[in-house]
Amino acid sequence: MAFKPNYNQSRRERDRAKEQKKLEKQQRREEATAKRKAAQDDPQAAPSDPAGNPEGA
């Protein structure tokens, strides 16, 4: 005979996965913010052209 489903365990696993995903997203946002702040503080380090070509042509 099969076991009864453990709904509480399933819910905890879903909640853990959701929390992990949320933390990863928050970390990506913090890294992007840090990069923007660093580029703002040091405009010479940031490329002038979004394509990565510093000469613009």
Q: What is the pLDDT of residues 3-52, one digit of tens each?
A: 899 999 999 999 999 999 999 999 999 999 999 999 888 767 555 556 66
pLDDT over threshold 60, residue 57 = no
Task: For residue 36, give the DSSP letter.
Answer: H
39's CB contacts (< 8 A; 6+ apart) are 45, 46
pTM over 0.75: no
Closest-CA residue to 57 (of 43, 18, 49): 49
Radius of gyration of the chain (CA): 22
d(CA 30, CA 56): 29
Please say whether the beta carbons of 45 and 37 come within 8 A.
no
